[in-house]
Amino acid sequence: MRLVLVRHGQSEGNARNVIQGHLDFGLTELGLKQAQATAQRLAGQRFDRILTSPLLRATATAELIAAATGAPVEPEPALREYALGHVAGLTFEEVAARHPEILQAYRKGIRPSFPGEEGRDVFLARVRSVLDRWMESGESILAVVHGGVVSAMCYLVLGLDDRRPGIFRVANCSITEFVNQRGRVVIQRHNDTCHLQGILTMEDVG
């Protein structure tokens, strides 16, 4: 049994370098190419089902993978990106200008607070709920998610302090895989981008 996480392809928000959170952007032309390459990489692999964040950039990626694997797609609200509150829709430069304390926190290696954000405890709890349900199911599941969700899952599995940001980089359409080894979750691979040669993008500002 395994849990394979795929980050969505490059979105319009990624291309504009804006903070997305729950804002609903579609894929760029490059994002579609990344999703198609990922679908080809995963074609023929067996999954009991595909879970997807309900945000468009994830569902569009999931549909292409589903066509290649034959697995059914199910929306999973718990896999939405972290809700970043009032900074959603801004570029990082705009955030730095309006909220210099956020930039200062990043420079100190501290996860900042964002005005109106969801709350890290709430976010981690909903991500953990998906991890726990997968462990109980005994299924092989693929989930199309967001960079923040992939990172949160890695923090949870490794028991790391979530207050330290930036440990895990997550490229668009990269693959991260967890396996259950005798009741213990192990990271089998992280940020696998072998299928994205020439079309790799790393934009990830939420």
Given a contact cutoff of 8 angstroms between Cβ atoms, the answer to whether 129 and 137 are in contact is no
Look up 8 and say whether it is catalytic: yes
Three-state secondary structure of the chain: CEEEEEECCCEHHHHHCECCCCCCCCECHHHHHHHHHHHHHHCCCCCCEEEECCCHHHHHHHHHHHHHHCCCEEECHHHCCCCCHHHCCCEHHHHHHHCHHHHHHHHCCCCCCCCCCCCHHHHHHHHHHHHHHHHHHCCCEEEEECHHHHHHHHHHHHCCCCCCCCCCCCCCCCEEEEEEECCEEEEEEEEECHHHCCCCCCCCCC
Annotated catalytic residue, options 29, 74, 76, 81: 81
Annotated catalytic residue, options 8, 99, 146, 190: 8
Given a contact cutoff of 8 angstroms between Cβ atoms, the answer to whether 98 and 73 are in contact is no
What are the CA-CA distances from residue 190 to residues 50, 67, 106, 163, 176 (Å)? 19, 24, 23, 20, 4
Look up 22 and say whether it is catalytic: no
Residues tagged active-site: 8, 81
